[in-house]
Amino acid sequence: MPDNQSVLIVVEVKGGTPAPAAAELFTAAKAITADESIFALVVGTGAREAAVAVGRLGAVKVFAAEVGQVSSDAVALTVMPLAANLNPKIILLAETDLGRDLAPMLAARLSTAAVTDVIAIRTEGGSRIFTRPVYGGNALADFTIDTEPQVVSIRPKTFAPAPANDKHTVEILELPAAEPLTGVQILERVAVKETGPKIEEAKIVVGGGRGLGGPEGFAQLQELAGLLDGVVGASRPPCDQGWWPESGQIGVTGKIIAPDLYIAVGISGSSQHLSGVSGAKTLVAINKDAEANIFKAAAYGVTGDWKKVVPALVAKVKELTGR
Ligand SMILES: Cc1cc2nc3c(=O)[nH]c(=O)nc-3n(C[C@H](O)[C@H](O)[C@H](O)COP(=O)(O)OP(=O)(O)OC[C@H]3O[C@@H](n4cnc5c(N)ncnc54)[C@H](O)[C@@H]3O)c2cc1C
């Protein structure tokens, strides 16, 4: 049995491809423990295939569990016997739909505690301290967990992805997937139609808010985003109103994004929205209200009606790019 300095990373996989946040979890794990104490559980479809790629990120051993329908319940039941065997000090998950659900479930079943949506980890006086945003992103709070394993879900893009080492030899063990025990049954999965890059991975995002006044405004944002090879997203009101798909909502209850450039159009800059874009390298705001909170977060701002500003921006980008 490995010593209790070990870290167990849980990686979701679809069709043999590990979730993008997997490599980031390895960077977090390497900051906590030595490489020979890092273990990974790869769970989902094509787990065996993905286990090799995951192992190359730096795991000493990878456990692969083939699960057709990934649910937090099935993953928790797969992790539990593994945790009993490995006795890890910490279990790391990504703060995704699965991780958000899985972390508290796992902590309860392992009689320990979880901290979710972690954006920083540090050690002070021998205690590991986990920082996460609270009150809709208006404050940061520090947590410690006195019991083990400490269950921690990490916000995507918090850590840089660990590089893969193709020479790293990986021991892979296949695990039987657990059957969910609760009454929860997944009856159907409907894939969201996505064209172009995912909003969480896009380098340029153009976000539309209530100030657009209706779904028509989003067509203009799509034109701008298309010219910049970017993706369109939205604050919560346009998604609630059905002007833009819910899958494109940015913010504390939507997607957390960290693009190189975020252009916020007709968005006031609520804390719930801003906490989803705090990782953006450059924020540009277009708003007709010079006092709008979004300008406090913006590196560049245009005070004006988007109906005039966006077409002018589109025309300028066309002129500069020849598109
Ligand atoms: C628990 C909870 C969770 C939430 N989660 C989220 C979340 O994940 N994401 C999120 O976005 N919100 C979230 N919200 C909602 C949030 O509090 C705000 O209500 C929301 O972000 C406001 O969206 P908005 O900026 O588009 O709209 P508004 O606040 O109404 O702002 C519209 C802006 O458009 C500007 N405008 C109007 N017309 C024009 C024009 N012609 N040209 C230029 N500018 C114009 C206005 O000056 C204004 O600043 C949450 C709220 C709660 C309580």
Q: What is the ipTM of this complex?
A: 0.99
**Sign of the C-alpha dihedral, residues 96, 98, 99, 104?**
positive
Kindly list the protein residues whose Cβ atom lies closer than 6 A to any atom of ligand 1.
Answer: 209-211, 235-237, 249-254, 266-268, 270, 272-273, 276, 286-289, 292, 305-307
* 94 located within any domain: yes
> Cα torsion for 135, 140, 146, 147, to the nearest 10°?
60
User: If you take atom 47 of ligand 1, which residue's CA is the nearest one?
Assistant: 289
Residues 154 and 233 placed together within one structural domain of the fold: no
Does 279 reside within a domain? yes
**Residue that terminates a domain, selected from 135, 156, 175:** 175
The verdict on residue 193 lying in a domain is no
- 196 in any annotated domain: no
The answer to whether residues 162 and 216 belong to one domain is no
Domain CATH code at residue 74: 3.40.50.620
Q: CB neighbours of 269 closer than 8 A, spacing ≥ 6?
A: 285, 292, 293, 294, 295, 296, 297
- Of the residues 205, 273, 286, 289, which should be mutated to test ligand 1's pocket, given the most ligand atoms within 8 Å of the CB? 273
Whether residues 166 and 245 fall in one domain: no
What tokens appear for 281 in the block? 């390298």
Q: Are residues 122 and 246 in the same domain?
A: no
Per the structure, how many domains does the chain have?
2
Domain residue limits at 28: 7-175
User: Ligand 1 centre and the CA of 137: distance in Å?
Assistant: 15
Q: Whose CA is nearest to atom 7 of ligand 1?
A: 251
169 is in an annotated binding site: no
Q: What is the pLDDT along the chain (323 residues), one digit of tens a residue?
A: 444 689 999 999 999 999 989 999 999 999 999 888 999 999 999 999 999 999 999 999 999 999 887 888 889 999 999 999 999 999 999 998 899 999 999 999 999 999 999 999 999 998 999 999 888 777 899 999 999 999 999 998 889 999 999 888 889 999 987 776 666 777 887 777 766 678 988 999 999 999 999 999 999 999 999 999 999 999 999 999 999 999 999 998 889 898 999 999 999 999 999 989 988 999 999 999 999 999 999 999 999 999 999 999 999 999 999 88
The CATH number assigned to the domain holding 246 equals 3.40.50.1220
Residue pair 232/262 in contact (Cβ under 8 Å)? The answer is no
Taking the centre of ligand 1 as the mean of its atom positions, its distance from the CA of residue 268, in whole angstroms, is 5
Q: 182: which 2 tokens? A: 């609760």
